[in-house]
Amino acid sequence: MTETMIPAGDAQLCAEAFGSPDHPAILLIGGAAASMDYWEDEFCSRLAAPGRFVIRYDFRDTGRSTAYPAGSPGYSGADLVTDALAVLDGYGVAAAHLYGISMGAGIAQQIAVDHPERVLSLTLQSTSPTGPLGPDNPDLPPMSAQLAEMFASEEPGPDWSNRDAALAALVDGLRPFDGAIPPDLDGERTVAARMYDRTADIAASQTNHWILEGGGLERGQLARITAPTLVLHGTADPLLPLPHGEALAAEIPGARLVPLEGMGHQYPPRAVWDTVVAEVVAHTAGSPGV
């Protein structure tokens, strides 16, 4: 595996691929404030093993991609959509299977509506028919009280220049998003440490995605999605409870929902890897070369 720098407008995006470029591509699009490190190496390798070309990348302000001053991102939510297409262009991929989590699933939905020719299929995890933190809808339940309090808090964050304090904050910050599956604290710290050490400006990475403007779909636009769609959703998601996943699957023609028992709002924990990998591999079968 070799990291590759890909131009995207005024930015450089760091990406990495698993498997052979001769195989159908799966582009992994992560959640807000998360580098590609959260798509763990072993998980990516397991997706690639049955004959897939798996690509992960750092958003702007994460990992080795271009960083902007904390609190002043020089880009919009719409730029994150075109960045995903730039990554595909960088690898010479005309169309790919898109697998997005949370904010990344919102980006994947936008691409499927605006650029359907680039999408072989969609896998949408831990998201909603209104985007990860979209406008209120009366039929969709709110986030947990603990998360609502956390998002409303004005307490200052850690000293991000202090590695130990930053790693503790990154790991502790995952707890309100947990479901019923016990967390792997050692594994989470390993990923957080890798992200911290690769990220140009950790303060920007933990600030700028939350204040972006632009991007996002109206709920009614989802009916325009023609790509085969798999919806994965944790049964214990405290940010976007399971009815968000159910509603998303109902809005996209032909979409199929797979509830993941006990999972919260998170990258797939190892406890569900067997299910997730099997579902994604089956869902991405049937494209050229498979």
What is the overall mean pLDDT for the chain?
A: 95
Residues of the chain with pLDDT > 90, as a percent, come to 89
* Domain membership flag for residue 66: yes
* Domain membership flag for residue 121: yes
* Domain membership flag for residue 290: no
* Domain membership flag for residue 172: yes
Residue 135 predicted with pLDDT over 80: no
Name the residues annotated as catalytic: 102, 237, 265
Which structural domain, as residue segments, surrounds residue 146? 4-283
Domain harbouring 225, CATH code: 3.40.50.1820
* Domain membership flag for residue 256: yes
74-123 residue pLDDT tens: 999 999 999 999 999 999 999 999 999 999 999 999 999 999 999 999 99
Q: How confident is the model at residue 287 (pLDDT cuts 50, 70, 90)?
A: low
* Domain membership flag for residue 289: no
Query: Cα(243)–Cα(254) distance, rounded to whole angstroms?
Result: 17
Query: Cα(276)–Cα(288) distance, rounded to whole angstroms?
Result: 22
pLDDT recorded at residue 134? 58
* Domain membership flag for residue 156: yes
pLDDT recorded at residue 138? 82
Domain count, the chain: 1
* Domain membership flag for residue 288: no
